[in-house]
Chains A and B, each alone.
Chain A
Amino acid sequence: MLCDKCGKNPATVYYKQVINGELTEQHLCEECAGDLMNFGGLGSFGQLDLNKLFSGAVQQESGRRCPGCGMTFAEYNSGGRLGCSRCYQAFEAELRPVIQRFHGGKRHMGKVKLIRPGGGGSVFMNNPELANQNYERLALQKQLSELIELEKFEEAAKVRDKIRALDKAMQSAAAKAQSDQTGKAGDVR
């Protein structure tokens, strides 16, 4: 591969730059890479107005709106109240430290919401035990994907084991529910 800039020498340096979330990638020869580092790259970066860069990033962040109610995180910051329950998903990353500060980063251990009777006629109907396990499983799955994303594989393996154990428990609970209400289909995956 030849240098992206001069097109003459072989490219030996991979140059990646992220400004305001915009990624630029270049494959350069040593000579051109040196130029960039000294003048076009680091040199000019050193003279960038960092405040502007930072506030730009913040503006971009606060401009994002919750799809549920249209609230921005800046509005939450000034009022202290979220706009709807979907805000928790929309601003998950921003809220994580807030929740950590209030509650110490633990997960819900209290009363589990029951899946509403008549809501689709699933096997969860009128079966609080199974409904609780289902919520538990949903939460664990979310936890698992987070841990994998963070490359915390050891913890992820523990969560995966919990999910497997839960699956077994759910299968036997579902089988029991099935035998209780004979004839009704209820396959839990």
Chain B
Amino acid sequence: MTAVNGAAGITTLPYVAWAEPQDERQIVVSTRLRLARNLTGKPFPNRLSDAEAEQLGREMAEALPQGEGWQVLRLDELLERERGVLLEKHLLSRDILQHTRGRLLAVNTAQTLAIMLNEEDHLRIQAILPGLQPEAAWRELSALDDQLAAKLDFAYDGRLGYLTACPSNLGTGLRASVMLHLSGLQLLGKLDGIFRQLAQAGFTVRGVYGEGSESRGGLFQISNQVTLGCSEEEIISRLRELVEEIITQEQQARDWLKTNRRDWLEDKIGRAVGVLAGAHLLTGKEAMEQISWVRLGVAMGLCDKIDWRELNLLMLSVQTPFLLTTAGRELAPQERDALRAKIARQYMAQ
């Protein structure tokens, strides 16, 4: 399999499948499911030399389903900003970027399926879809898992399930997560209580970029913690139940704000639109904050200057790796802020 780096704009353009509108409630951004799989009889990636990792990576890439337009990217051959773009698109993890020799990323044409090769586990297979679609994502993911399992011998134990480099992923190897925009609950200071309840239910809350990252733009990721002792369907239906409950609470928070703080809310949203449409210098942090206000406005029917899809693409476009890609060179901090503001103005003027 030949590696075609950057074809079809995977590592350059802000387009991703999960940017599409899917749920009219406009609270859930995306659903991402991943499976951890390893090969029988091979040391886990952390015990492989670079040469061994490269060899094994090639062998695993051979097992990709044929004729489905898979692109295989060698991470060590990508520019740093291209790797950053893939991270912003949630097609790869921060961890795999710590050591890129012998590390590969396979992505399908639709950018809904991605396989990290030689991350913590030999294979990290993921499906990412817009909105709240854990069942559909599982169907796609499980089918891809089956296709790979027909060619690769996955390490498995009848009692422990799929064997993983870290025992925290044992069993199903499934981490199911949903990214939500919870600015209503955030504004009312209700998040801590909800996150505590989630923890009791065996689910964790993280920022947008996974483990150890903080929240930006009012976006949070909720995912299961326990992977052993329950079926994939149980994990998925439990996740859906919890997310539906949180959506209801977020809607109640928004209704309360609309009823009791309407002027204040419309002022915040209107000012955010003003900043994005008129600013000439915009830091990354401020851009995310203003985008969060506009997102709330769009979802609540209080802003029609931009739609959900464009807002997602704007959010991606103002991230540093995309700015560097647009400029085609390194940028000083103030140059970045100027370009970020320019892109925001263009999006808001459409």
Tell me the A residues contacting B by CB distance below 8 Å. Answer: 68-69, 71, 79-86, 88, 95, 98-99, 102-111, 113-114, 116-117, 135-136, 138-140, 142-143
Chain A contacts for B154, CB-based, 8 A: 113
Chain A contacts for B171, CB-based, 8 A: 103, 108-110
- B161 x A82 contact (CB < 8 A): no
Chain B contacts for A136, CB-based, 8 A: 158
- A110 x B230 contact (CB < 8 A): yes
Shortest Cβ distance from B162 into A: residue: A113
Q: Looking at chain B's contact residues, is the secondary structure mostly helix, strand, loop, or mixed? A: loop
Shortest Cβ distance from A82 into B: residue: B165
- A83 x B158 contact (CB < 8 A): no
- A106 x B41 contact (CB < 8 A): no
Q: How far is the CA of A111 from the CA of B165 in the complex (A)?
A: 18
- A83 x B44 contact (CB < 8 A): yes
Question: Interface residues of B toward A: which range?
Answer: 35 or more
- A88 x B47 contact (CB < 8 A): no
Contact of A83 among B43, B160, B226, B229 (CB under 8 A): B43
Shortest A179–chain B CB gap in Å is 25
- A69 x B227 contact (CB < 8 A): no
- B160 x A108 contact (CB < 8 A): yes
Shortest Cβ distance from A135 into B: residue: B158
- The answer to whether B228 has its CB under 8 Å from any CB of chain A is yes
- B47 x A102 contact (CB < 8 A): no
- A83 x B47 contact (CB < 8 A): yes
- The answer to whether B120 has its CB under 8 Å from any CB of chain A is yes
Chain B contacts for A81, CB-based, 8 A: 44, 46, 120, 165-166
- A85 x B228 contact (CB < 8 A): no
Q: How far is the CA of A82 from the CA of B45 in the complex (A)?
A: 10
Q: Interface segment, B145-153, B279-287, B291-299, B306-314?
A: B145-153
